Chain A
Amino acid sequence: MENKNQYWRGLEELNNDPKFLAGKKHEFAEGIPLEEVFTEEDGDLTSNRRDFLKYFGFGISAVALAACNKTPVKNAIPYIVKPENITPGIPNWYASTCNACAANCSILVKTREGRPIKIEGNADSPVFKGGVCGTGHASLLGLYDNERLRKPRIKGADATWQAIDKEIPTALASSKNVALITGTVNSPSTKKAIAALIAKYPQIKHISYEPFSYGAIAKANKESFGMEVIPGYRFDLAKVIVSFGADFLGTWISPVEYTKQWAKNRSAEDKTMSRHIQIESYLSVTGSNADVRYPIKPSAETAYLISLYNKIAVLAGAPSLGSLPAVELPVNGIENTAKELWANKGQSIVVSGSNSIGAQVVVNAINSLLGNIGNTVDLANYSNQHYSDDAQFASFVNDLSSGAADGVIFYNVNPVYSYSESAKLMEGIKKAKVSISSGSNLDETANLCMYNTPDSHYLESWNDNEPKAGYFTFTQPSISTVFETRQMQESFLLWAGLTTNFYDYMVSNWASTLNGDNWTKAIHDGFYQASVSPVSASFNAAATNGVEASAYELYTTNTKKLELKLYTKVGVGAGEGAHNPWLQEMPDPISKVCWDNYAAISHATAKELKIKDGDKINITFKSGKIESVPVLVQPGQPNNVVAVAVGYGRTAGGKTGLNVGVNAYTAANYSTSQMHMQVDVKIDKAEGSYELAHTQTHHTIEGRAIIKEASLGEYIKDTKAGNHDHHKSLRENGNLITLWSERDIKGHKWTMAIDLNKCTGCGSCVVSCNAENNVPVVGRKEVLNRREMHWIRIDRYYRFRTKDNNFITKEDDYNNESTGVDFENVSVTYQPVMCQQCGHAPCETVCPVLATVHSSEGLNHMAYNRCVGTRYCANNCPYKVRRFNWFKYRDNDQFDFNFNNDLGRMVINPDVTVRSRGVMEKCSFCVQRIQAGKLKAKLENRTLVDGDVKTACQQSCPADAIIFGDINDEKSKVREYFKKDRAYFVLDELNVQPSVAYMTKIRNVNEELVHEKGHSAAKHEAKPEEHKKDEKHAEHHS
């Protein structure tokens, strides 16, 4: 083989794990589960000829009995009074705001016959530009959650709102110290409603609480600039991005907004790319996309920040912070970073994910020294997206347990689950005279409260949010309340003694700014941009006092000890997504594990502790213990750091999240500067082992060159760098044999381009596809059986280096101790894979019933009702994108997710068939959207223009990495992409002529990445006759 594989699906592959080897031989994890059907309880296969005859006989009589029935009568029930704006069969779109997290992205909600069925990005929004994350897409399921509270409750018994409104004001009036605990509240009208409540009951104080807090940023900014806000970060204006553990492409503050900004500077065609340096304690989505990544221990973060400051200070001629010895990363990482930052002063950005005020003050000092304040760090257009007052919350919990506070209102927060000192809080709530929870489900907190006043889902509510200063985004209901719920703002107003409803209240608040048509326009558009006044902020140097000594001490005392790092996962997040089957089944971008959290440990540490993948461990720290958590040996994980995701291990709030993973919040150290970490932890092996359900090794593709990459330097020299495909040249010369006759498509030819440079692997497309195409959730057990149903998957490849900086190409390198693999430094590439809609599709050839055939528009159609389930097509698919329905996933208690109840099924897209057991399915390029787009053009009597048809994955991609369109349309964007020198087809040598082109990944690094042996400049050994055939190659080498 000419191209030796350097890309690995995981350590199992690198290590030639026997299980992996066994698995990769077979297309399907298991044979047909006949045993399950016919086996008796004693485990013997008892079925025989007689049984067969019995079943046969039963079958005949069943048909006969069925034949006695009358034809089922289907009713068609029209509206009594048809709403003017609803035409059955035609979707209505409403502009609204996502409230799945406090980032508050502007969204569009697609409704059919009054049911919201899909969330998409609002492309007109100047801040979010049409992106939505996976969590946002999945928040739709919360509306149709069968376990939502259906009516208010008093002391555990169902009650009426009248009773609630009678009792609560009395209870509030009689208590002397009440706290209203909310998440981030950035809605001006909600704030005003809260103020009205506080005006009526002055004993109420409002405290913002976020389980995975970013509160330190605002506090640090208050100390540094006198403004208690999170600044508006502008990654699009930065040429150098340095992030200390801030996962801004995955989970940090406003990931969709930041991904849009980040992706803007990642097109290789501009020949300039931003340089992204990540310094972090676990392999995050952001870290996996960085050009340079340094793994560090969490305790060392502030020390490195101070060293970075001091290095820049030397270059700037400014005084350094203290005089303690500098700490340095391998290969002079800090010094090089400092030089790069200084060279791009005013056009660089430093951020930190730490919740230590000290660390954030140093970050401010660096940005201020670099002149980034006002440029890439915008204090005028500051962010209101996350606000949390950690100290105030901690002191309230103390008051509540001591009896100094006697009442509490929880507005959509669940601290009994997420607060690190949960026991103290529980005890306090039990003591309180009045406790109210607005949780939509009976979660850990709601269970303890006297009053449950279920809040309406945001798709049933009115609201106005101000996620960024001056940028207002409105929430309008796209459905009336499904149950007897009431949005909490209405309750605030009622309890405050006001009689207006919240909508009127909101309108009157806006009356002076937006009225009449302006108001209608704002609601129609979903947002309103007001002007902001400029801010001139100067850094207060005194803020850094005392930071250095403590940081240095933390660094030195812990150099040799094990540490614990807590993080949030894309999807489940801080725990809000735990009861959401779409999010649980969405594979983690890095580990590809679904339905669990785990302890990520580096290869060296695992070896040292003598633990391996699948072992269970106990993690003991000063204030407690996380018990029995499964181990995942994670490349890229720093040595001596164990990373565990929060948000799992829920004990209430919905069955989907129960018994999934372990709760790591117990280690959160909420009220200290070391909030998301524990220093000095002990790890010991626990009883038993556990198999994590990951999709990582599924759908294995033998070691072929399916990832192509080059460094920016190589690309500038040669735009085809990394993409001199041998086989392509063969085809151009007509030497490649094909079984099929060539197709000549004259009308539309639907094609897709995927820019590997931009894809961050966030998984938004996966959830979007779930919603659009009625993809069923199969659960942990079936994922273990490799039967997940996702139509689009994001493959993640690792590239390892040896200690002497060569890429590992052979398996034996790994076992050879002397070569030594650097598992801490790993290069990650993501590749979204869906059906490639091959022109010469191997699946079509083998289908015995012609259930999958080619269309005149270049699509590979799949007729479910023709499919008899031979699975030959899946077997013959080189891309492993076909999915088989092993079970009926609806109305089946084995798969007790949203397809198992009437309410949950409301989310089904009526334009897409719900597949039944025994048929094959796969990505259709959203053929329903293609047909709808064409129909719209026909009805409007015009030609189809580029952008009329957008696939579900493309529409909401926060990085704009997916481009879809008609390649025969000369003006289409996808045509442009196909012409790029970076464009390549995966497994091109098979000549199946896929319709999906991938763009070579270009990294902004100063090293050689191209690994094409035959074409890399240094090692070129191609035969001369090949050059004659291929002029383009000759050009390149001349």
Chain B
Amino acid sequence: MKLSKLLTLAVSILLSYQLAFADAAEGEQLYKANCTACHAINEKVVGPALKDVHKRRESAWLLKWIKNSQKLIASGDPVAVQVYKENNESPMTAFENLTDAQISSIVDYIKKESEAPAAPAVAATSPTAKVSADTNSSNGGGFYTSGTYYALLVMSLVLAIIVFVLYRIQKVVESLYEQKEPAAAAAEKAENVSWKNNRLSFRYKLFKKHPVVGTILVSLLFMVVFGLLGFDYGNKEIGVQKGYAPVQPINYSHELHAGTYKINCLYCHSGADKGKQASIPSASTCMNCHMHVQAKKEDGKVSPEIQKIYNAVGWDAEKRMYDPSKPKTPIKWVRIHNLPDHAYFNHAQHVKIGKVECQACHGPIETMKVVSQQRSLQMGWCINCHREANVDVANNDYYEKLHANLKTEGQASITVAQNGGLECGKCHY
């Protein structure tokens, strides 16, 4: 019996230990999933800072509060009423679905975090700040900033001036020499034969002996240089700019939002399944989350990138309200995917009806810290896809009618091209 008792004890200790271990892990998970939208450990977000909350409040009270704070307030609990008033009377979401054990695991996690040193906790809650630092280093500057342009311009001007001055000095010296020693100068001049008479010089061979070859060579050189420059420019002018990754006004990371947090593309680009434009989200859409997610830094300031959103919409992060006195300034994003004006492209046709993944045209967007143009967006590229892609006939009543005609001809499915997708007037009008 003793053995069995001992065994039971051992098992229970083990279990409790495991439970405690599970508590910490589960608590962290639950905390991150449910609380971080409004709370942080060390600072006030929407709700108060949670550091040492286990010391301030009794666990029974916490349990009631977390489950349904409004009920507690309504019951007239003085502490609850006070907390409610202190926090601008913004009600806390009720978590009736959480079990008592789960809530206590969250409290355990807060307890653990409260005892830990402050810095890591902050770092853990501000991934955005980290990312923005990364993007800054990877994307900062670049060769063609306007600063370098001006420096180059000034340098070439200085060089030109130097060349001019030297040339003048040489001329002055030469004329002085001629004045002082005319005989010697004349002799030297006669000796100094021009390349035009020097049959051995390369220039003579090229331009005097074979003028046609020379002209062609020089013209070719010019044409190649200017042609390449022109081609490059022309391509960019018509939007062929694969790899174009401009610096955006806000270091927004698709990797973080679409990759790590798996926010649906359509949440922000809400026009993509409705009409022509996928549409860049308005700043107010950003605010839906970033009203709460501030990614504060060590110094307690809002992440500078998120602050840019606040500046755009006139949001006062301190008072947590829109400040009508602040000017509203729209964010000037740089367009990356530019189709020429004469090409009509409709997102809804491709996203909603064609069921084309966003990545098919935009590349692995969920891995991009900085968005770059991944496809050439040239007509040939469009056409290729139209040749290969099938029309989803069966799932759309509109196509079914067309399909009915084709069925008699023994075709099971049709490609976009067979549906007229290669015709000029489908995209150009």
Contacts and interface: CB of A to CB of B under 8 A. Distances in A.
Given A66-B230, A81-B284, A863 B428 contact: yes
Interface string B266-296: 0000110011110111111100000000000
Interface in B371-429: 396-402, 405-406, 419-420, 423-426, 428-429
A406 B133 CA distance: 74
Interface in A724-775: 746-747
10 contacts: A67-B226, A71-B237, A74-B338, A80-B313, A746-B406, A861-B425, A863-B425, A913-B428, A935-B349, A941-B397
A67 B284 contact: no
Given A856-B423, A935-B349, A80 B282 contact: yes
A73 interface: yes
Contacts of B229: 63-64, 67-68
Interface in A618-668: none
Contact of B424 (A70, A79, A863): A863
A77 B332 contact: yes
Interface residues of B, number: 63
Interface in B301-337: 312-313, 328-335
Given A865-B428, A938-B398, A944-B398, A88 B420 contact: no
A254 B284 CA distance: 47
A861 B423 contact: yes
A706 interface: no
B333 A78 contact: yes
Nearest to B340: A865
Contacts of A924: 425, 429
B222 A67 contact: no
A921 to B, nearest CB: 10
A937 B270 CA distance: 20
Contacts of B401: 943
- What 8 A-B pairs have minimum CB-CB distances, sorted nearest first? A861-B425, A89-B276, A67-B229, A82-B282, A71-B236, A863-B424, A89-B277, A79-B282
Contact of B425 (A74, A77, A862): A862
Contacts of B271: 87-90
Interface in B29-50: none
Interface stretch (A813-821, A926-934, A951-959): A926-934
A934 B398 contact: yes
A747 B226 contact: no
A912 B330 contact: no
B232 interface: yes
Given A79-B282, A865-B342, A87 B226 contact: no
A80 B423 contact: no
Contacts of B429: 861-862, 911-913, 924, 927-928, 931
A798 B375 CA distance: 59
A864 B342 contact: yes
A75 interface: yes
Most buried by A among B333, B398, B405: B398
Nearest to A911: B344
Contacts of B207: none
A913 B334 contact: no
Contacts of B280: 76, 78
Nearest to B279: A88
B396 A74 contact: no
B353 interface: yes
B125 interface: no
B279 A855 contact: no
B226 A63 contact: yes
B105 interface: no
Interface in B348-373: 348-349, 352-353
A87 B282 contact: no
Interface string A183-208: 00000000000000000000000000
A943 B398 CA distance: 4
Contacts of B331: 77-78
Contacts of B274: 87, 89-90
A604 interface: no
Interface string B239-278: 0010010100000000000000000000000110011110
Nearest to B273: A939
B424 A78 contact: no
A926 to B, nearest CB: 9
Nearest to A82: B282
A75 B397 contact: no
A498 interface: no
B420 A855 contact: yes
A90 B348 CA distance: 11
A233 B277 CA distance: 48
Contacts of B348: 935, 939
Contacts, number: 173
Nearest to B225: A64
Interface in B60-95: none
Contacts of B352: 939
B426 A931 contact: yes
Nearest to A910: B276
A855 B423 CA distance: 6
Contacts of B353: 935, 938-939
B188 interface: no
A74 B397 contact: no
A866 B340 CA distance: 13
Contacts of A934: 398
A913 B420 contact: no
Contact of B398 (A74, A75, A79, A937): A937
A319 interface: no
Contacts of A496: none
A997 B33 CA distance: 67
Given A60-B222, A87-B279, A859-B425, 8 more contacts: A77-B332, A80-B312, A80-B329, A80-B330, A928-B344, A934-B398, A935-B353, A938-B396
A909 to B, nearest CB: 11
A19 interface: no
A476 B252 CA distance: 40
Interface in B91-112: none
B346 interface: yes
A718 interface: no
A72 interface: yes
A806 interface: no
A931 B347 CA distance: 13
B177 interface: no
B248 to A, nearest CB: 10
Contacts of B344: 911, 928, 931
A81 B314 CA distance: 11
Nearest to B428: A863
B5 to A, nearest CB: 69
Contacts of A861: 423-425, 428-429
Contacts of B396: 938, 941
Given A64-B226, A81-B313, A87-B279, A941 B398 contact: yes
Given A71-B241, A88-B277, A944-B398, A80 B283 contact: yes
A87 B347 CA distance: 13
A941 B334 CA distance: 35
Most buried by B among A71, A862, A914, A943: A71
Contacts of A944: 398
Contacts of B246: 73
Interface string A847-874: 0000101011101011111100000000
B341 interface: yes
A610 interface: no
A90 B397 CA distance: 23
B428 A78 contact: no
Most buried by A among B233, B241, B419: B233
A942 interface: yes
Contacts of B282: 78-82
Contacts of A931: 344, 346, 426, 429
A241 B222 CA distance: 79
B396 to A, nearest CB: 6
